Amino acid sequence: MEFDAGIGSMIYIKSKREIEILRQSNQIVARVLQHLKEMVKPGVTGKELDRQAEKMIHQSGGVPAFKGYRGYPASVCVSINEQVVHGIPDSRHFVEGDIVGLDLGVIYKGYVGDAAVTIPVGEIDDESRRLLAATETALMKGIEHAREGNRLFDISYAIQSHVEGQGFSVVRDFTGHGIGSQMHEEPQIPNFGRPGTGSRLISGMVFALEPMVNAGDWRVKILEDQWTVVTADGKRSAHFEHTVVVMDGGAEILSLPS
């Protein structure tokens, strides 16, 4: 089923069968991310996480959604400190005080699961702790507004208002998105916006909501590898993401570990 978003694009309403497969793909994501989180310690490298992620995805009957997507070379995005998103896993060793963003996608039975988390490496400074807490809380506040009858930018405003209330800024160049048989479907879901505007939400819409939050200014730049996004001012950034299905009584988080 398709829904006219009113902007010349279509938002697909997922069937019960599709939602069940999306739930399965996102549970693979959740299990792999949980294992990777436990691996994040001083001395570990992004390449080690990437190898383990790809192994676990295949063992679960899935396929890495990111590897080869528009040329991306790895199965998991590993973004450290001032890296916002799309960091390429390398041989750099994590050190005490780092923060490490892990973004993972899995294709299972033709449907994509997607989630992200930012992990502290040992003890981190107070600003980084507040940054991680603000970003994760902002995601949950956005999810609270992903219910039938609300407007799309109610989600965006809930994220933005919490983040800015904590003294941080939301990245404006990258957004959340619809998700299903394709990794990126309509609509785009910015992490800022005016409440009461945007498409009306209908049960069965599935979104990947993902606030990217900077400790300093919201502006970003892309490195020479054409993938890694970093903060323009060199300050730290955090990223959290869940895949959710819009429902009448509130969203179901498909990527929450069961």
Residue range of the domain that includes 108:
2-253
Q: Of the candidates 81, 120, 65, which has an alpha carbon nearest to the alpha carbon of residue 255?
A: 65
pLDDT for 1 equals 42
Residue 35 placed within a domain = yes
The reply to whether 107 falls in a domain is: yes
Domain of 32: which CATH number? Answer: 3.90.230.10
Beta bridge partners of 80: 100
Residue 157 has pLDDT above 90, yes or no: yes
Q: Over the stretch 171-216, which tens digit does the pLDDT of each residue have? A: 999 999 999 999 999 999 999 999 999 999 999 999 999 999 999 9
Q: Which of these, 180, 236, 233, lies nearest to 11 by C-alpha position?
A: 180
In a domain, 258, yes or no: no
| CA 12, chain centre distance (Å) | 20
pLDDT value at 236 more than 70: yes
| Per-residue pLDDT tens over the stretch 18-56 | 999 999 999 999 999 999 999 999 999 999 999 999 999
What's the mean pLDDT in 66-71? 97
In a domain, 11, yes or no: yes
The pLDDT, as a whole number, for residue 9 is: 59
Q: How many domains does the chain have?
A: 1
99-126 pLDDT, tens digit each: 999 999 999 999 999 999 999 999 999 9
Tell me, what's the pLDDT at 191?
98
